[in-house]
Amino acid sequence: MPRIFDAKSKAEYRKNQQIYLKSRKAEAAYARQLRQVAKQVGSIVKGFVTPKEIADSVQLQNALSKYSEMIRPWAKSVATRMVADVARRDASMWEDLGADIGKQLRGEIETTPTGELFRKSINEQVDLITSLPREAAQRVHKVIIEGISTGARASTIAQEVLKTGKVTESRAMLIARTETSRIATELTAARAKNAGCTHFTWKTASDMDVRPSHKALNNKIFAFADLPIVDGEPLLPGGTFNCRCFAMPILKDINE
């Protein structure tokens, strides 16, 4: 029978969990970059709006849209660094997790064809980063239209528009948390499947913020080909917004 390598003791469990939780550092670094976009969005808005009035809403929306296009090259650079950071941490996890397994299995993990996944992930992140100013422009338009239609005072509309920077920052933080976890999980799944690993253990962050539906899955084993239905949809750990769960692959030494 093939030997199963999984966390067999509390010490080993803690060690493996720490490897996975290092991906939170990638999230923090990505969040710092996205917060810069939100800060600039706030500055652009303040250039056109005072607490009492909006100087020119059309020009404000145009300025935000132009900013979205202007940051595209920078966004690609930021996205590339984030995906590479997640990949390095995932590779480190596999190296540690597979320290005692055969060379053939380690070779299969290391040679997983991840190029297409990398390109797809980077393109998705560029779209998300550049969407922040675009969504801000859409919010400005919506706030103004709704304010006018309800007969709100100009000062009331202006004050609501000035909140756009904070709204953008909240959206940026959600993207940072969700996307770093999702990419890490997808990369883990790709390497696991390439190595013939069919199952994983669902792990949560083990704190008060874990969703009840995710907490119920903690330490349970699932097949990559038959994902659990979570809140109505098949889901990998870390595969939905604000999810900090992760998949712990169950490795089999094919040399045994």
Q: What is the pLDDT of residue 23?
A: 61
pLDDT digits (tens, 9 = 90+) for 169-186: 999 999 999 999 899 888
The Cα-based distances of 151 to 56, 147, 156, 201, 247 in angstroms read 18, 6, 10, 55, 52
- Kindly tell me the burial class for residue 21, based on how many C-beta atoms sit within 10 Å of its own C-beta (0-12, 13-18, 19 or more): middle
pLDDT of 19 over the 60 cut: no
- Kindly tell me the burial class for residue 220, based on how many C-beta atoms sit within 10 Å of its own C-beta (0-12, 13-18, 19 or more): exposed
Q: How confident is the model at residue 255 (pLDDT cuts 50, 70, 90)?
A: very low
Q: How confident is the model at residue 1 (pLDDT cuts 50, 70, 90)?
A: very low
- Average pLDDT of every residue of the chain: 85
More confident residue, 67 or 107: 67
pLDDT digits (tens, 9 = 90+) for 143-173: 999 999 999 999 999 999 999 999 999 999 9
pTM: 0.82
Residues whose CB falls within 8 Å of the CB of residue 149, separated by 6 or more in sequence, listed in order = none
pLDDT of 7 over the 70 cut: no
Cα separation of 85 and 89, whole Å? 6
Q: What is the CA radius of gyration of the chain?
A: 22
Lowest mean pLDDT among 1-5, 19-23, 213-217: 1-5
Q: How far is CA 84 from the centre of its chain?
A: 13
pLDDT digits (tens, 9 = 90+) for 222-253: 999 899 999 899 999 988 888 888 888 887 65
